[in-house]
Amino acid sequence: YARDWFLNKTNIVKNKLPWVFSYGQMAESQKIACEALLNLSEISDDWQDTFEN
């Protein structure tokens, strides 16, 4: 259950990121935070592959 919740949250983040990046007017710290979220969502993809295989 925890894994499904986590993947659901990261998918929500992923869906919002392109919209966030399109602004391009964020402060540098916000950009860094978004990059960190992107890295987290990539990690979750790896986790998902591990669980499914």
Query: What digits encode the pLDDT tens for the residues 1-53?
Result: 677 887 777 777 767 666 655 555 556 667 777 788 777 777 767 666 666 65
pLDDT at residue 52 in the model? 64
- Locate all alpha helices (DSSP H) within 1-53, ordered by sequence: 2-23, 28-52
pLDDT of residue 20: 57
pLDDT of amino acid 25: 55
pLDDT at 38: 79
Torsion of CA 31, 39, 21, 24, to 10 degrees: 30
Cα 30 from Cα 16, distance rounded (Å): 14
Cα dihedral value 18, 42, 40, 23, nearest 10:
-10
Predicted confidence at residue 10, as pLDDT, reads 74
Looking at residue 11, its pLDDT comes to: 74
Q: Return the sign of the alpha-carbon dihedral for residues 42, 48, 51, 53.
A: negative
Q: Tokens 């295989």 belong to which residue?
A: 53
